[in-house]
Structure 1
Amino acid sequence: MKKLLVAAAAVAALTAGASPAFAAGRDYVWAAGSSTVFPFSTRVAENFARKTGMKAPKVESLGTGGGIKLFCSGTGAGFPDIANASRPMKKSEFDACAAKGVKDIVEIKVGFDGIVVATDKDGADYSFKTEHLYLALAKNALRGGQFPANPYTTWDQIGTGLPGNRILVYGPPPTSGTRDAFVELALEAGARKFPTMDQIRGDNEKRFKQLADTIREDGAWVDAGENDNAIVGTLTKTPGSLGIFGYSYLEENMDKVKAAKVNGVAPTAQTIADGSYPLSRSLYIYVKKANVGVTPGLKEFVAEFVSDAATGRGGYLQDRGLIPLPAGQHDGQKQVAANLPPMKRPAA
């Protein structure tokens, strides 16, 4: 009996000291988050598995907010090793991670993407200003110095030269990083074109964000889920409608949809990379440093993600629509992946 107790104690000690992946039986990398980063992460996972012979990582499309929330919910094998994100992590999310013991988070920028406003290929051509997008989609749009419930029903009510189609936009839900970025780059930027709104921003930024960021709920905007391909499909079936999604999905569906210009600039790889297209953004992965050396293959998967073959200029992710970082920035992110310096707490 005494020998059995000693043996049981030894097993318990070994289990307690074992890696979370070993203890829970997870022998693969787990990444979750942005629907925009999803196809890139999936391709990296496929190449990683083929090159290493290890089990392919699990990649989930939950939206940036949903992925980071799950990532920050705890440590160990029951939570993702990586959060894919189409915007930077927020201070509130960083603090939520810390509260659950998730510390030493490594931020790695993997490339650029643009948010496109698209319509069916055979539909009308659109050329928006950011202020058009704000006026069309804000729940309480500025009109005559007041903020009534949005009264606009067709695009030609908002801007001269815009088509007379009704305002119907299919876009990502609140958990999506694409939506967060669209709100900041389109709605907030458009709102600031009006002196009244810019003055409110200077006096009370919280009030400004409430007015600019709250999207209308009367049917003109439709939350279409995290599946950007589904939005593409909807545009082809709903004449006159518009969709909001990442540039990579535009590239994959040029035979079905086309993009509007924003502030006179069309979304292309060049205009997104140089920032002249107003709705350009950076893409990230967030890595739990504590899981490196614990989750089998995690360090190697991250290295593959930032490799020249994947995210470098001419890499296989560029073929999928990722806009590569400039060479100097790309080399810097390879160093981050190699050395894993923990990120600082975000300012906002």
Structure 2
Amino acid sequence: MSRIKVTASALAIAAVSATAASARDEIRIVGSSTVFPYTQAVSEQFANNTGAPSPIVESTGTGGGMKIFCGGIGEGHPDITGASRAMTVSEYELCTQNGVTDISEAMIGYDGLSMAISRSNSFDWDVSLGEVFLALGAQVPVNGEWVDNPFKKWSEIDSRLPDVNIVVLGPPPTSGTRDAFVELAMHAGCKELAYVKDGGFDSAWVNENCSRMRTDGPFIEAGENDNLIVQRLESDPNAMGIFGYSFLYENLDKLKGVKLAGVDPEFDTIADGSYPVSRPLFFYVKNAHRGVIPNLQEFIEEYMSDDALEPGGYLTERGLVPLDAESRAALQDSVLNAKSMDAK
């Protein structure tokens, strides 16, 4: 595809609004641990192709990245943030309050929120979203009452499951992966339960009562470094982890996916929507830094290239589920031409 440049007038505006940024030579990127490996891959490809300094990429979590990104314009603030969910209204308002008013949004593809376990665990794991909720919810229904979660072993939830302790490592509240898991797995699982279905509880009740992860031991917040979760799963064959599909994909020699509702987390099931816990991935660009931070536009061009994004591209080789051709073309046009996202 052609490499489209932002217009001279857009660069002039950027230079006026972000002259302080010109003192920094390296591109700075923060944000989602799930988007991190894709951005890191683009950074390596960009540096190899151009000889320019490799961007500094930090895994701060989606929420943490948004706070840093929205802090302002200039060399002290990052140029891009990755996100495993869309920017929220409150985050957009924070950006606006701090003068970050011209932002391009890039939805780069899709990811499956994978639950995984060591390959040394011989059980063929297949759990419903309802069972996931019963394992991890802070409060759950027991004998017709909504109570603090008493379940310590998987077999206590269903006798077909192994008689082993529930140990699940997952992301902290600052992570977009945590936000997505709560919405796509916990809320959906809660709604499957007879207590909720028969009780006629609405979505507001579910949001209020089914969003909290338990804090009594079985669920362990493992920080923003998903590689540490992989290491823990290697050392404990009964522990499960929650992370983006790319981390499972890159560690299939050590880990296996846990089926959710009978469906394995795989490239094809995420792409066709049959895997029940999938979500879009994003990055956001501070347009005032284009043309001021050296090589930023060129880095964005590499991220938007067909080599990176198309089926068979180097990002799909790392586990990214790509957009269809029409959506990809629209994405490339929007981001390369620095089109601002609509106000939230």
TM over 0.5: yes
Matches of 2:141 and 2:94 in 1, distance apart? 35
Deviations along 1:165-208, whole A, 9 cap, x unmatched? 11110111111111111111100111111355356752x71x42
Q: Give, as a single letter, the amino acid of the residue that structure 1 aligns with 2:304.
A: V
Alignment correspondent of 1:26: 24
Alignment correspondent of 1:259: 257
1:116 maps to which of 114, 117, 122:
114
Query: Contact 1:134 / 1:190 at 8 angstroms: preserved in 2?
Result: yes
Tell me how large the CA RMSD over aligned residues is: 1.8
Q: Secondary structure at the match of 1:51?
A: helix
Structure 1 residues 312-327: aligned runs within 5 Å: 312-327=310-325
Matches of 2:200 and 2:81 in 1, distance apart? 35
Matches of 2:233 and 2:184 in 1, distance apart? 23
1:80 maps to which of 78, 81, 96:
78
Matches of 1:215 and 1:131 in 2, distance apart? 14
Instruction: Using the aligned pairs only, state the percent identity.
Output: 45
Q: Which runs of 5 or more structure 1 residues have no equivalent in the other structure?
A: 1-14
Q: How many residues align?
A: 328
1:141 correspondence with 2:128 = no
Question: Deviation of residue 38 (structure 1)?
Answer: 0.7
Matches of 1:327 and 1:159 in 2, distance apart? 44
Structure 1 residues 147-166: aligned runs within 5 Å: 147-166=146-165
Alignment correspondent of 1:4: none
Q: Secondary structure at the match of 1:333?
A: helix
1:177 correspondence with 2:176 = yes
Structure 1 residues 52-67: aligned runs within 5 Å: 52-67=50-65
Matches of 2:327 and 2:335 in 1, distance apart? 12
Question: Deviation of residue 163 (structure 1)?
Answer: 1.6
Compare relative contact order (CA 8 Å, sep 6+) and give the higher one, 1 or 2: 2
Alignment correspondent of 1:236: 234
Matches of 1:143 and 1:17 in 2, distance apart? 58
Deviations along 1:83-133, whole A, 9 cap, x unmatched? 101111111111111111111211101111111111110112210111111
Q: Give, as a single letter, the amino acid of the residue that structure 2 aligns with 1:40.
A: Y
Deviations along 1:191-248, whole A, 9 cap, x unmatched? 111355356752x71x422311100000010011111111011011113111111111
Q: Secondary structure at the match of 2:142?
A: coil
Query: Contact 2:191 / 2:206 at 8 angstroms: preserved in 1?
Result: no
CA change 1:235–1:130 in 2 (3 A) is: same
Matches of 1:248 and 1:308 in 2, distance apart? 19
CA change 1:247–1:316 in 2 (3 A) is: same
Q: Which has the larger radius of gyration?
A: 1
CA change 1:214–1:18 in 2 (3 A) is: closer
Alignment correspondent of 1:12: none
Q: Give, as a single letter, the amino acid of the residue that structure 2 aligns with 1:189.
A: A
Tell me the TM-score normalized by structure 2. Answer: 0.91
Question: Deviation of residue 20 (structure 1)?
Answer: 2.0
Matches of 2:98 and 2:200 in 1, distance apart? 36
Q: Secondary structure at the match of 1:273?
A: helix
CA change 1:293–1:258 in 2 (3 A) is: same
Q: Which runs of 5 or more structure 2 residues have no equivalent in the other structure?
A: 1-14
Q: Give, as a single letter, the amino acid of the residue that structure 2 aligns with 1:177.
A: G
Q: Give, as a single letter, the amino acid of the residue that structure 1 aligns with 2:97.
A: A
Alignment correspondent of 2:211: 213
Q: Secondary structure at the match of 1:61?
A: coil
Matches of 1:52 and 1:187 in 2, distance apart? 44
Tell me the TM-score normalized by structure 1. Answer: 0.90
Matches of 1:259 and 1:253 in 2, distance apart? 10
Q: Secondary structure at the match of 1:213?
A: coil
Alignment correspondent of 2:68: 70
1:43 correspondence with 2:56 = no
Q: Give, as a single letter, the amino acid of the residue that structure 2 aligns with 1:58.
A: I
Question: Deviation of residue 150 (structure 1)?
Answer: 0.2
Query: Contact 1:126 / 1:163 at 8 angstroms: preserved in 2?
Result: no
Deviates more, 1:193-202 or 1:210-219: 193-202
Deviations along 1:37-66, whole A, 9 cap, x unmatched? 111101101111222222211110011111
Runs of 4+ in 1 over 4 A off after TM superposition: 15-18, 198-201
Deviations along 1:1-25, whole A, 9 cap, x unmatched? xxxxxxxxxxxxxx99872222xx2
CA change 1:16–1:118 in 2 (3 A) is: closer
CA change 1:294–1:64 in 2 (3 A) is: same
Q: Give, as a single letter, the amino acid of the residue that structure 2 aligns with 1:81.
A: D
CA change 1:17–1:341 in 2 (3 A) is: closer
